[in-house]
Homo-oligomer: A and B are copies of this chain.
């Protein structure tokens, strides 16, 4: 039955398998202690009779804002993605090496990116969500970011949802993050004027000096967000790439231009609140005839090939740059994930599990 292509690993090989376990469901701001790093063992062998799964060694794991939603206890099917299982390893995107495969699409030694778990070795049965990595002349960790889910998110949200036109004005919040830094660079490549906001001077400097934003500001130092936006967008905003929600969205709405577009990628400022903040200025959707659209990257994976064709050469030619914040070891993973919600990361937050 099983089309196993395993071979390099003996059936009885038992190895250490560190894991990052979600202790229990979270309400409010998550803490490192909501997770626990354990050291167990695992057999380096797919279960008998596996017909489609792969056994992988995880190399890089991705910390993404949407993961906060999975830490909240919800009924299955209540959100677009189910809650984590308390007591089990955190699930998330990562880059991994195939050790054994029962799936003819993958073979031992393949590098893949997609949905895996926060541990050293994982058995992945939902292989539909794995992409084979063909280009290895870029940093492998990029497949957690610019070449992976966040990259596709930026691409789909900006090009497909916002339909940018040359000369339009673009505003990106959480602009130095995994998605925002790319949206800004895509906007520049499209001939747009782009301004980003972030929460530290270091990040604001990155936006201007590294990513080529036309302007950038530290939202924490702006007592009046409306005034800040008017300073950078005296003629208004054509495209808002929404990553934060709440007060920022309320400040943006009256500053939108007629027929503007808002791509709602996420609302990180709201994820740890008991109740999300109220947004008061929605009537500006009518006044300015604005389209506001929530999207999930999963709807756009059919564009992944087209996306790579655009972004791989751009990386190699230095037209697009990418900043990562890499911590080493699963022990560092809980703090890295929590840090996202405090804005501690500078650039895409990655956990290096193993170099090979």
Does A245 have its Cβ within 8 Å of any Cβ on chain B? yes
Does A267 have its Cβ within 8 Å of any Cβ on chain B? yes
The answer to whether A79 and B278 have CB atoms under 8 Å apart is no
Residues of B with C-beta under 8 A to A264: 282, 285-286
* Contact code string A134-176 (vs B, CB < 8 Å = 1, else 0): 0000000000000000000000000000000000000000000
The answer to whether A293 and B282 have CB atoms under 8 Å apart is no
* Contact code string A273-297 (vs B, CB < 8 Å = 1, else 0): 0011111111111111111111110
Cα(A264)–Cα(B101), bound, Å: 50
Cα(A265)–Cα(B35), bound, Å: 46
Within the complex, what minimum Cβ distance (angstroms) separates A101 from chain B? 32
- B282, B287, B291: the one contacting A279 at CB < 8 Å is B282
Looking at chain A's contact residues, is the secondary structure mostly helix, strand, loop, or mixed?
A: loop
The answer to whether B287 and A79 have CB atoms under 8 Å apart is yes
Q: A267-B283, A276-B282, A278-B279 are in contact. Are A293 and B291 (CB under 8 A)?
A: yes
- B267, B281, B283, B292: the one contacting A293 at CB < 8 Å is B292
Residues of B with C-beta under 8 A to A282: 245, 249, 264, 267, 276, 279
Which A residues are within 8 Å of any B CB, using their own CB? 79-80, 245, 249, 258, 264-267, 270, 275-296, 299
Apart from A80-B286, A266-B286, A279-B282, what 13 extra A-B contacts exist at CB < 8 Å? A80-B258, A267-B282, A276-B280, A285-B294, A286-B295, A287-B294, A288-B294, A289-B294, A289-B295, A289-B296, A290-B293, A291-B291, A291-B294
Sample of 24 A–B contacts (CB below 8 Å):
A79-B287, A245-B282, A245-B283, A264-B282, A265-B286, A267-B286, A276-B282, A278-B279, A278-B280, A279-B280, A279-B282, A285-B293, A285-B294, A286-B296, A287-B294, A288-B294, A289-B295, A290-B293, A290-B294, A291-B291, A291-B292, A291-B293, A292-B292, A292-B293
